[in-house]
Structure 1
Amino acid sequence: MTATPRTPATAMPRRLVLAGALALPAAALSSCGIIPAVQGGSRKGGAGDEAVVPPPGVGETIPYLPLSGEADTADSAVVVDVYLDYLCPWCKKFETVHGEDLKALASEKGVAVRMHVRPMLDSMTTPEGYSGRAANAATAVWAESPEVFWALSAALFEKQPAEGSAGLTDEELIGLAHAAGASDAVDEAITSGRHLTWLERTVEADARAKGYGTPVVEIDGTQLLPDSDELLEPEAVRRGVEQAR
């Protein structure tokens, strides 16, 4: 399950951490799967000393949105952690292949699906910050209804803007949220960036500490098919879960 086959030229880019004196060509920074050396803040006005505001029921230090019921988060459950960025083109491919499987797995007995929605590519839009705003919208909708989260998540990838663009406006994000089934109650959370502090300081910090880009899947804490385009093959995630049962 964790073996890494030879990676062809069309495979997902390797996950790289850029820090200190390490330098790569500028072209290497234009894709997901790479953690930019300098990440622009997604917060309107900057993160500053604002308090971390996780969604209800999620602790400040918990870096994911739980998508399975309490009965399926026991120690005996197979834990599936998924790391995504809504600006990442490879994540869009991942969603196309595995989105319905993940939704189904989240409702299966003995499986706990946990989504890490990241602002990793915040610096890749003009102005900076779209990844965080999209992740904040998904988090706000999850807080109202985890079931509606799946529909919005799929819509965010379907309407994925190009890197270098401004991304969707807050009004467009709200429109997608309403179309997915969310109520007007999510509007303020989206426009205010309510959960951006949590996304930046907890979700993103956790993923960076592991050296992860996107998309990444862990099953019971072990990365599935690292640095391999096989992660984008149909049934790859489900096979990994079945092998872990």
Structure 2
Amino acid sequence: MWTLFTDSSRYQRLPLAALSLTFALVMSGCATNTGSSGLEGSAEGHTSKYQGQKEGGAAADSDAIHIPPVPHAPEAEKIAQQAMAEYARALQTRMAGNNKQALVMFQSLAARYPQLSGPKLNVGLIYMEQEDYENAEKAFRECLAVNNANPYAHNGLGLALREQGQFSESRSHYEQALALDPKYARAHFNLAVLGELYLQDLPLALNHFRAYQNLQKQADSNVTNWIADLENRVPDAPSQPVAGNGAGENAGGVN
């Protein structure tokens, strides 16, 4: 069984960049990189699109190669196999830009396969792009009710909560995503943004921008500048251990 992870640069809007999660089928917990551009953790390019302030949801052009795996219950495997073909059609519809139809398809999958977290995650992603943060929050919470070990859902919920001003709980879900996978680059970026712009916790922001940067194959020049700025503003901040780039690891396994 495999899990398809894709991403979309269309999530961007200023001054708020929309969610930079994956359009993901998190059914079995196994991740296969399909080789297409924009795969979670291996997006093309290395320079963040956020040239001014860090107002976006995540770094859209992260080139980190690690794909966070999603632990799953073994009994979900057979159910995932049954849903896979229909899920692939929903994903193709979503990638073709037909969000309205894709939302209906993912909602139908979620209703008929309640044991699977992936369809609910995709419902949340679509609502995030539509800036319907309350329904996105609801979908991500439903996803986590099925599989609380889904790091993408924790990251998505963190973004939905941030957009609604619930910063403390947003932080909690970013941290849960990173507890599940310390090499989840986008969760590091999101937590750093939250720390600097919303919580005014500069050491937190510095630590997670460092972690994000350390996961890139090639350093993001904007993040380099942000780190230098934060180091000047909090020169006494301790240097915390950061995750390493996941080169050479089997990112498709189950933790």
Judge same fold: TM > 0.5, yes or no. no
Instruction: Specify which structure has the higher proportion of helix.
Output: 2
Instruction: Specify which structure has the higher proportion of strand.
Output: 1
Output the TM-score relative to the length of structure 2: 0.26
Greater relative contact order structure (CA < 8 Å, 6+ sep): 1
Output the TM-score relative to the length of structure 1: 0.27
